[in-house]
Amino acid sequence: MPDNYRRPGVYIQEQSYPDPLEGVETTITAFPGRFTKGPVGKAVSVSSFAEFEDLFGDGGSDDKNARSIWLYFENGGRKALIYRLFKGDTTASTTGFRIPTPEGSLLLSAKYPGIWGNNLTLEIQPHPEDSNHFRLTVQEQRTDVPGPLKTREIYERLSLDPASRDHLHKHLESSNFLRVTNSPPEAAQPAAGTYGYDSSGDNGEPINEIEILRDNGLIDMDEAPFFNLLCLPDPEHGKGFSVPLLQQVAHFCRLQKAVCILGPHPVWTTPLSVKTQVENLQNELSSDERQSIAQYYPDLIIPDPSDSRKNIRLSPVGAVAGVIARTTIERGVWKAPAGSGAGIEGCRGLAADLPDADAEQLNAIGVNSLKVIPGRGAVIWGGRTLDGSNRYSSEGKYLSIKRLMNFIRQSVEAGTGWTAFEPNSAETWNALRQQTDHFLDSLFRNGAFAGSTPHKSYYVRCGTDTMSEADQEQGLIRLEIGVAPIRPSEFIILVAELSAQPVQR
């Protein structure tokens, strides 16, 4: 007993342990693309199609990016990151409004570029009790939904006096529809009336792969937000993505620990054409990069939102991402998003009917086929990455395994930052092993691994068997984790390098 325990009794010695590891999110899906409205060059999170539609619009049957996001939420997606790409002069492409005042014109514009701003109508009315203020109502006539004007925003008490707390500029800073371009230098009352646009907006030029890569802030090593799945829009030139672009995307996704979902290339007409194009791409990618792409075939046939009697053809990427999210939420990130339970909602059929032999050929080269099951409809019938070709013997051939390993690594990295303030000592290593062991044990109990016991399912190492004396002196901790998600005791190993306080010898 220590000397300071002078009398009999109960003594409590507190020890600080790191917080339990918490799993990171696994279903956030990024959608860069050309949309009809909304902020440009900024990632915006939405949790429903209604929220997306309100912020970014829906151009109907011609807006294939909006249709992909609709399918994502229809199939179980919960959270999407929308990143609007725009090719053109955003200022010149933004709708403008001119409202006369005694001191000159009040110039307003739509909040974002695009033709959508042409559908706005502004109504100015005098304030009923204060001649120095006015009332502004913003209404919108959606082109895809016939009917009366829809009131969007109402400002009951506004002023053009820069010193007033009711100044128009201050209120419109939070508007989703308008901003002030130029205000008269002196306080004045705008002329009452109803105003349409003075200068028209436009939707910019078609987006092709150069813009998708160059202007896509999502694919930015320094600024990219956190996401798990990336759904690229089809280039509008109709030629599909080139190998150099996909190389860059695969490299980015590898670093971000995300997976890119790709649809069919336009040149794919037969299993042979698929094989040739896919193998050319695979040959240009490293194993880790191939594991960061999952490709699906064929396109979907979905109802035309403008006329339900008609159909349109659409890339399956949004629907596939939704099924992946649904499967993850319901059964875990380790469950393969494929099979009879991976049904695709919101589609009427497939653009090609694949015989079983063709589906097997696609599966053998790492392309996931979609097929129609009588009584069930369209389902995903493959769960491989591009590293899943039979030409390779890769531990990352399966999409679910790749995503599970990403999940474990990201969760460990996110929850072990505390080591940076601790000495690189046995006590720190022991606490780190316990923290990681508890996290992996929770995954084991939820069915993430193949073994019937923890010993056959995972292990954690951190100590002199994973670090050298030089590592300790430099403040480097190496945490080795082995997990067996496919067969018991056949471990896939990942090593996390963490920082700690250097050991002074």
174 and 294, same domain (yes or no): no
> 10 Å Cβ neighbour count for 17?
9
For 134, the domain range is 96-195
The confidence band for 147, taking pLDDT boundaries of 50, 70 and 90, is low
**Per-residue pLDDT tens for 221-270?**
567 789 999 998 877 777 788 888 899 899 999 999 999 999 998 888 77
Q: Kindly state the average pLDDT of the residues 405-427.
A: 95
**Per-residue pLDDT tens for 91-134?**
999 999 999 999 889 999 999 999 999 999 999 999 988 888 99
Sign for the pseudo-dihedral over CA of 384, 385, 391, 395: negative
177 and 257, same domain (yes or no): no
81 and 163, same domain (yes or no): no
The percent of residues above 90 in pLDDT, for the chain, comes to 72
165 and 186, same domain (yes or no): yes
Number of domains in the chain: 3
Q: Is the pLDDT of residue 136 over 90?
A: yes
What is the domain-level CATH number for residue 422?
3.30.360.90
Q: Kindly state the average pLDDT of the residues 423-427.
A: 94
Report the mean per-residue pLDDT for the chain.
Answer: 90
At residue 505, the pLDDT reads 65
351 and 214, same domain (yes or no): yes
> Which among 195, 228, 248 is the end of a domain?
195
**Per-residue pLDDT tens for 386-409?**
999 999 988 889 999 999 999 999
SS3 string, 94-119, reads CCEEEEEECCEEEEEEECCCCHHHHH
224 and 317, same domain (yes or no): yes
The percent of residues above 70 in pLDDT, for the chain, comes to 94
**Per-residue pLDDT tens for 194-206?**
999 999 999 999 8
423 within domain boundaries: yes
**Residue 226 CB contacts under 8 Å (≥ 6 apart), including other chains:** 24, 25, 28
253 and 387, same domain (yes or no): yes
14 within domain boundaries: no
What is the domain-level CATH number for residue 112?
2.60.40.4290
> Hey, what's the torsion of the CAs at 319, 275, 391, 350, to 10 degrees?
30
Q: Is the pLDDT of residue 1 over 50?
A: no
> Which among 377, 401, 425 is the end of a domain?
401
The confidence band for 354, taking pLDDT boundaries of 50, 70 and 90, is confident
At residue 145, the pLDDT reads 54
Q: Is the pLDDT of residue 427 over 50?
A: yes
Higher pLDDT, 273 or 122: 122
45 and 145, same domain (yes or no): no
The confidence band for 61, taking pLDDT boundaries of 50, 70 and 90, is confident
At residue 175, the pLDDT reads 93
The confidence band for 60, taking pLDDT boundaries of 50, 70 and 90, is confident
121 and 182, same domain (yes or no): yes
**Per-residue pLDDT tens for 299-337?**
999 999 888 899 999 999 999 999 999 999 999 999 999
167 and 224, same domain (yes or no): no
345 and 218, same domain (yes or no): yes
> Which among 401, 429, 456 is the end of a domain?
401
At residue 9, the pLDDT reads 72
Distance CA 204, CA 187 (A): 36
At residue 233, the pLDDT reads 81
The confidence band for 17, taking pLDDT boundaries of 50, 70 and 90, is low
Q: 306-311, long-range: CB within 8 Å, 24+ apart, which pairs?
A: 306/60, 306/61, 306/144, 307/61, 310/61, 311/348
